[in-house]
Structure 1
């Protein structure tokens, strides 16, 4: 981040209080990320950086405009290249290099791809698209995730210098230069209204986006631009207000600014991270500190003197490198689980050591090269393509190595009943069912330590996209209520699949059997919203009480079933991972969960039974205690590493649905034999990966089971409608 980089080439002396403010900002960010108690809101240090950056860059551009009467965009971007690219590139390349050694292939590929996005200053766009959340600890965090803030700054500075250049040209038009006075630079009266409009629009957009799409609001440049704009506003008004600030007023501003930042660091939590109204507190606090310490004549405010003490100035000098290094060190160290406090302390020490070395031997030589030729604009601009080419080459190397790790260049065969050795074992009762026999053979081969097949379907590097799609009917949005026939749209029979993502994962199989047997298929599937008639919370708002959108969707589905009068209605879903609320509106105790689940399933069976010729339950699949990619992409893994014992808690939830089906005489399809044998389940059957994660079946494997699924459901159903 530019706010973290020293501005040594400025003609004015470096302000010690700004270096101290940089130090505070980076230290609270590190403390927050490393879990220091009492600083849960330390992430506001990033917002403080934005303010400092907006101030310093605008001040630098204003000085150039006042000095020369114009702005040189090539010179501006050359300066930025020398200041930000060398250290950033070092961290990107080093992180990918360490990931080559430490991470499984799928995560390595993700990290190297993140490095490319970061190199082109689009990391924020990328992480917003994949739904990244710093505060969601269940996700696999990227060690390069923090580059989003650098991307926000660079995107802002694609537009801001152009706006200021336009203001310079407008100033010339309004007040033509006089030969005896030289250039007139930039009129604040022109620039301030434009900047205020940008700040107001950005603030308003951020406020709206925070309530509708928090992830986008967090990473969006336009939602963050107002924070850089506050810093720019301080730089613009400084010449007017600096002479009017008395020592007492400066002290009051400084104390209020420090107090605002401190209060935010101590009291804020993850729930306010995207709220502009809340973030205004540390942002305005940073602006107040910048104003209080500006061009002081006489004795500085106490707070400014404290910020400017030598240790704070040193940390401020290193702050850019500290920010770059602290996050990848933590994430890579905790790839297998949270580390102890002493280890974290050691990581902080390593962060400071690497930051000193980076500042001393990378940042400083590039920022202030001894050879004047290296300061040229052309050489500075060449850093952009050079960096891009270097990181892309690193990405290519990592990609090739990742495919090597998952057997992309190997020749290990798919598991078959014939090559597994199971037929030679007389103690095994081999199933006559083709699909079940292949599961038995795969688990038998795993017991023998067989190699993972080289050509897996889908690729272990593409499991994130391996779940069956919903087509045109995506019911994720709260108000989505369209109806889309699939399978055989002209079929005379009708099939309905109702459930959550654990119903969606079977769509490829249902599509296949529906086309084969002439069924119009309707898939009413909503993520997180299972078909069991329960009052549940929402995963994205666990403290907000019952999720009203789920029962509304269930009622709508029942109405559609009544209209369609299907030949077959199949219910499928997982036990919710969120609180279940009882009739009294209170969260249900764990000992009552099973009874509540059973009753919820029974009510849903009863709701669709009057309108369906046949109702079936597709029992939930066994859950693993880890993701499939963890073994499939790990160095030295074999098939024995890719088996698991079903999670007991989710098995209890599944048995609640079975009890409900039995009580209502509902047909049951049990998928366990297609995944497990002898109380163990497998991530690989034949040459197919069975799970996308730890609980969703891949579309490829589901489709391969279409015939078995149809047979278990009794399809085709001849109920006199054909």
Structure 2
């Protein structure tokens, strides 16, 4: 313990007085000040003075590289067709951040034999938090003004994760969650990369401290005397960086192949990009002296060409990051190496061009503003932006970036606030940022709750005696609800589920969430029953589980729910919703389901499923056009019903529910809608693909149950029936309404008959 205290305390260093941040020295005349990383964190300062007034020259090639990176990101997000891979600009920033931040720490250690951890984090706080907090708060308030109450609340939740620098974890979870697929893109989604960099800023200095402590311990044990600052143990640091970078790259390749969306947001799959930048910063100046102007120019030109090729060749369909990220990442490393030598490459004259340097100054604020500037208007309009609208949004982002850089970034980095915030005071910015975002979010949450609970409108009722074929009055209530919509009656005030909890109305699958790779059975219902039912399908089948739970308990059935989100029941090769690749996990699940049904020998198998959400593969080609999908889907259902007919006593197709063309939750929480505003006519494509399943079932002699009369009447589907919300998004039933259909479904399936 004594060794730990003795070694660590000197490494933490003395609290630094306000003053200029450490520089990144490339030569006697080309220097870059502490930038705090690259967008999402790293925009190099545009001025040439530090908080203490000391002049600092700026390394123009890094400024220009930042400008290019943020420009391609903005262009790609704005829909520039010939830059589909512009999002790799974020990877460029990761490498730059690793290079600059690591270089600052290296130089401090070489100079003093240690570095101030508190000083480092306080500089990051002044650099990152003010602008990020302003953009977050403005985005939340704008969402409150422009979005539906539900969507505004979602932005509040996103802002909390963004403020905690955990947005990448949040959006990775949402990305692999099919039940979030119908939600609009968050205006704060770009904060995922800010989170990755901030996590790097926490972990990397601690790793460096460990290296310094270990090196000091080894020196003392070997009897070496410390006559002055020991300097940076380059071999130890390089060994750690190589190990971390290699492990992260390997994991990036593996994880991208298995879970591309989660991998895209993961710090573990991106750490190698920052690590490579930190490795480049370890290259000593002596190793670059012989590079020469021609060699440096060749390196820089090659690196820039690699970044350019990545922007053009990489698309949204590319498995990324994985192997593909090596193209822009290695290219950036080459540009950084080339610019660090004694002879400036010819490319520096281009990268240091005045307008590019200005955009480099604004790059952090521009990155923060560009995404909400594009997403918020699209959410307000309820459609993608047209070309001229995107151009106007980008122009607005540039204007906001200039203002934010001038009045927020620079004062907190170099102005009076920076001089007033010493090391310890600057750390207060973290809780202050959280408090401001929390206050903004809490106010928004309260206001949306007040709006949603306003009014005292009664639920819809159906008058008259029940029909023998409709003993629960289900169909009668649907018809009464359609009539109420046509009369433009007010939306009932007391809804089930609560309107603001609508999107959380997801059926529970317990420990058997097969989308996570689980492969075992979880029987439910009456576990001692002598009758069993197996439900097969995707998330639409999952939505029926509350009804089957009630039926199984009341009718005496053991129920098995073999459902997997995004995995259409038909034996076709589909693509997952977030990628244009064969969904092999679904194909494997089909095989496993077939084996389980054969082993269980159930009394009843019920199949219900949505059409493929992202096309169907035929060989190596993916098709989305109806005329190409239809025959493949028909063959897949033929194969499914043939297999089930051999394995089960009785098979029933529960036709897929009608689909809406818009989200009912958004409709019901925007403005002051009546029932007619949010009722819908079923989407034609979904209806036609549903007919394919019905035709295939009837040809195979499989029974068909159509739930449409429990949801629609005369081609109009109300989203409120009685006082219950029917859909939680465009095509998934709420758990509450599904449970209310237990009687109607149980009778239709003859599961409540004891004979």
TM, length-normalised to structure 2: 0.87
2:324 corresponds to 1:324: no
- 8 Å Cα contact 1:86-1:362 kept in structure 2: yes
- Structure 1 residues 411 and 53 mapped into 2: Cα distance closer, same or farther (>3 Å)? same
Q: Work out which of the residue numbers 145, 154, 157 in structure 2 matches 1:113.
A: 157
- Structure 1 residues 529 and 168 mapped into 2: Cα distance closer, same or farther (>3 Å)? closer
Q: State the match for 1:187 in structure 2.
A: 233
Counterpart CA distance in 2 for 1:624 and 1:663 is 28
- The one-character-per-residue Cα deviations of 1:605-639 (angstroms, maximum 9, x if unpaired) are 44334554443221211111112212122121221
Counterpart CA distance in 2 for 1:312 and 1:593 is 48
Equivalence map 1:421-436=2 (5 Å)? 433-436=472-475
2:712 corresponds to 1:694: no
Deviation at 1:179, TM superposition (A): 10
Deviation at 1:559, TM superposition (A): 4.2
2:191 corresponds to 1:147: yes
Q: Work out which of the residue numbers 411, 415, 426 in structure 1 matches 2:460.
A: 415
Q: State the match for 1:438 in structure 2.
A: 477
Counterpart CA distance in 1 for 2:610 and 2:645 is 21
Q: Which moved more, 1:76-85 or 1:33-42?
A: 33-42
RMSD value, Cα: 3.0
- Structure 1 residues 610 and 667 mapped into 2: Cα distance closer, same or farther (>3 Å)? same
Deviation at 1:75, TM superposition (A): 1.1
Unmatched tracts of structure 1, length 5 or more: none
- Structure 1 residues 603 and 233 mapped into 2: Cα distance closer, same or farther (>3 Å)? closer
- The one-character-per-residue Cα deviations of 1:321-343 (angstroms, maximum 9, x if unpaired) are 11111011001122211222112
Deviation at 1:575, TM superposition (A): 3.0
Deviation at 1:664, TM superposition (A): 4.8
Q: State the match for 2:712 in structure 1.
A: 676
Counterpart CA distance in 1 for 2:309 and 2:122 is 38
Q: Work out which of the residue numbers 286, 307, 310 in structure 2 matches 1:261.
A: 307
Counterpart CA distance in 1 for 2:610 and 2:669 is 27
Counterpart CA distance in 1 for 2:83 and 2:432 is 39
2:752 corresponds to 1:716: yes
2:196 corresponds to 1:159: no
Q: Work out which of the residue numbers 52, 69, 85 in structure 2 matches 1:25.
A: 69
Secondary structure of the corresponding residue to residue 515 of structure 2: coil
- The one-character-per-residue Cα deviations of 1:54-107 (angstroms, maximum 9, x if unpaired) are 111112212222333321111111111111111111100111111011111111
Counterpart CA distance in 2 for 1:410 and 1:691 is 22
Counterpart CA distance in 1 for 2:641 and 2:246 is 53
Counterpart CA distance in 2 for 1:217 and 1:685 is 41
2:382 corresponds to 1:350: no
Q: Work out which of the residue numbers 573, 576, 580 in structure 2 matches 1:539.
A: 576
Q: Work out which of the residue numbers 169, 187, 194 in structure 2 matches 1:125.
A: 169
Deviation at 1:448, TM superposition (A): 2.4
- 8 Å Cα contact 1:188-1:237 kept in structure 2: no
Secondary structure of the corresponding residue to residue 680 of structure 1: coil
Counterpart CA distance in 2 for 1:539 and 1:377 is 48
Counterpart CA distance in 1 for 2:417 and 2:748 is 78
Deviation at 1:154, TM superposition (A): 0.7
Deviation at 1:35, TM superposition (A): 1.5
- 8 Å Cα contact 1:272-1:279 kept in structure 2: no
Q: Which moved more, 1:84-93 or 1:208-217?
A: 208-217
2:535 corresponds to 1:500: no
Counterpart CA distance in 2 for 1:284 and 1:76 is 27
Counterpart CA distance in 1 for 2:181 and 2:472 is 42
- 8 Å Cα contact 1:152-1:221 kept in structure 2: yes
Counterpart CA distance in 1 for 2:310 and 2:368 is 23
- Structure 1 residues 48 and 103 mapped into 2: Cα distance closer, same or farther (>3 Å)? same
Q: State the match for 2:351 in structure 1.
A: 307
Q: State the match for 2:12 in structure 1.
A: none
Q: Work out which of the residue numbers 581, 601, 604 in structure 2 matches 1:565.
A: 601
Counterpart CA distance in 1 for 2:294 and 2:455 is 74
Equivalence map 1:465-480=2 (5 Å)? 465-477=504-516, 480=518
Q: State the match for 2:129 in structure 1.
A: 85
- The one-character-per-residue Cα deviations of 1:199-253 (angstroms, maximum 9, x if unpaired) are 1121122122111221222111121111111111122213342333322221222
- 8 Å Cα contact 2:597-2:648 kept in structure 1: yes
Counterpart CA distance in 1 for 2:679 and 2:111 is 70
Counterpart CA distance in 2 for 1:595 and 1:257 is 48
- Structure 1 residues 272 and 241 mapped into 2: Cα distance closer, same or farther (>3 Å)? farther
Q: State the match for 2:251 in structure 1.
A: 205
Counterpart CA distance in 2 for 1:556 and 1:167 is 49
Counterpart CA distance in 1 for 2:74 and 2:267 is 22
Unmatched tracts of structure 2, length 5 or more: 1-35
Q: State the match for 1:76 in structure 2.
A: 120
- The one-character-per-residue Cα deviations of 1:260-297 (angstroms, maximum 9, x if unpaired) are 11111121112446234322222122122122222635
Counterpart CA distance in 1 for 2:697 and 2:304 is 62
Q: State the match for 1:39 in structure 2.
A: 83
Secondary structure of the corresponding residue to residue 458 of structure 1: coil
- 8 Å Cα contact 1:5-1:84 kept in structure 2: no
2:325 corresponds to 1:279: yes
Secondary structure of the corresponding residue to residue 57 of structure 2: coil
- The one-character-per-residue Cα deviations of 1:172-192 (angstroms, maximum 9, x if unpaired) are 445679999642332223322
- 8 Å Cα contact 1:2-1:150 kept in structure 2: no
Secondary structure of the corresponding residue to residue 606 of structure 2: strand
Deviation at 1:526, TM superposition (A): 2.8
Q: State the match for 2:31 in structure 1.
A: none
2:107 corresponds to 1:63: yes
- 8 Å Cα contact 2:536-2:569 kept in structure 1: yes
2:556 corresponds to 1:521: no
Secondary structure of the corresponding residue to residue 284 of structure 2: helix
- The one-character-per-residue Cα deviations of 1:540-572 (angstroms, maximum 9, x if unpaired) are 587546x56555544543443343333332222
- 8 Å Cα contact 2:478-2:712 kept in structure 1: yes
- Structure 1 residues 468 and 354 mapped into 2: Cα distance closer, same or farther (>3 Å)? same
Deviation at 1:678, TM superposition (A): 2.0
- Structure 1 residues 126 and 492 mapped into 2: Cα distance closer, same or farther (>3 Å)? same
- Structure 1 residues 595 and 339 mapped into 2: Cα distance closer, same or farther (>3 Å)? closer
Q: State the match for 2:96 in structure 1.
A: 52
2:37 corresponds to 1:2: yes
Deviation at 1:315, TM superposition (A): 0.7
Say how many residue pairs are matched.
704
Counterpart CA distance in 2 for 1:371 and 1:711 is 71
Q: State the match for 1:403 in structure 2.
A: 449
- Structure 1 residues 321 and 582 mapped into 2: Cα distance closer, same or farther (>3 Å)? closer
- Structure 1 residues 173 and 664 mapped into 2: Cα distance closer, same or farther (>3 Å)? closer
Counterpart CA distance in 2 for 1:153 and 1:542 is 25
Counterpart CA distance in 1 for 2:200 and 2:419 is 29
Secondary structure of the corresponding residue to residue 118 of structure 1: helix
Q: State the match for 1:447 in structure 2.
A: 486
